[in-house]
Homo-oligomer: A and B are copies of this chain.
Amino acid sequence: MDLQLPPTLRQLRVACSQCNLMELCLPVGLSEEDVARIEELIGTRRKLKRHQALYEVRSPFQALYAIRAGSFKTTIVLEDGREQVTGFQMTGELLGLDGISTGQHVVSAIALEDSEACVIEYARLEALAREIQGLQAQFHKVLSREIVREQSVMMLLGTMRAEERLAAFLLNLAQRFAARGFSGTEFRLRMTREEIGSYLGLKLETVSRTLSHFQEEGLIEVQHKNIRLRDRERLRGLIQAPLSH
């Protein structure tokens, strides 16, 4: 199983020409000229305060968003009000892909902290993708990667127990922080226990208990939202050999 995203880009909190439009072009080594053209894509930027929506479910889709700073959650809701977090996104990741299908967003994207996102008008992206082959290829990879990520989550929700889910979640977060040049050992959770639980198909009490349990076992240190991984290997072992509990 692999909740880990591919090892991506470093230094992301920089100017667009530096950050290379996030995951959209870095890995493919576009020409300088192409990179310059891609910058045309970026229209406005949007700053969001904590809890503000970048877009809401059912709103018309017209743009993707590259997270420039901060972090987000995406949530989907049932008619009866039940809500589920379908993902947490951080710097450099792309939001809004769910809207392409029907022209309306099917999830809402909510800032977990004060954040900033670059607006990528979708019509422009499609046009440019036709001209720059590398951009098209990379965009398809981003879409496919999201499909793969969600399959990992399905696996997690379908076959793993609470401990395993939490372990996988923490390791995934660590991996993504590390990929961004932050510590992969010590980090701060941007989301609440309830949001974690929603994402992992658990109740907040179970999340809290399991974290405490990990701490007793010496696997991690928890202090409110601050997490420190103390024994990555055993944490990883939890996922692979769940029955040895």
Contact = CB atoms under 8 A, between A and B. Distances in A.
Contacts of A36: none
A144 interface: yes
B84 A148 contact: no
Interface stretch (A94-102, A182-190, A216-224): A94-102
A100 B141 contact: yes
Interface in A95-122: 97-102, 106-107
Interface stretch (A12-20, A47-55, A73-81): A73-81
A204 to B, nearest CB: 13
Interface in A105-161: 106-107, 126, 129-130, 133, 136-137, 140-141, 143-148, 150-155, 157-159
B136 A79 contact: no
A245 interface: no
Contacts of A82: 159
A137 B126 contact: yes
A155 B76 contact: yes
For the residues of A in contact with B, the DSSP-based class is helix
A110 to B, nearest CB: 15
B147 A143 contact: yes
A240 interface: yes
Chain A contact patch, size range: 35 or more
A141 B147 CA distance: 13
A198 B158 CA distance: 7
A79 B242 CA distance: 11
Interface string A1-21: 110001000000000000000
Interface in A154-208: 154-155, 157-159, 198-201
B159 A78 contact: yes
Contact of A240 (B80, B100, B154): B80
B98 A151 contact: yes
Contact of A144 (B126, B143, B198): B143
Contacts of A241: 80
Contact of A84 (B133, B144, B150, B154): B154
Contact of A98 (B98, B147, B153, B199): B147
9 A-B pairs with least C-beta separation: A100-B144, A157-B157, A158-B201, A101-B144, A150-B150, A143-B143, A101-B145, A84-B155, A84-B158
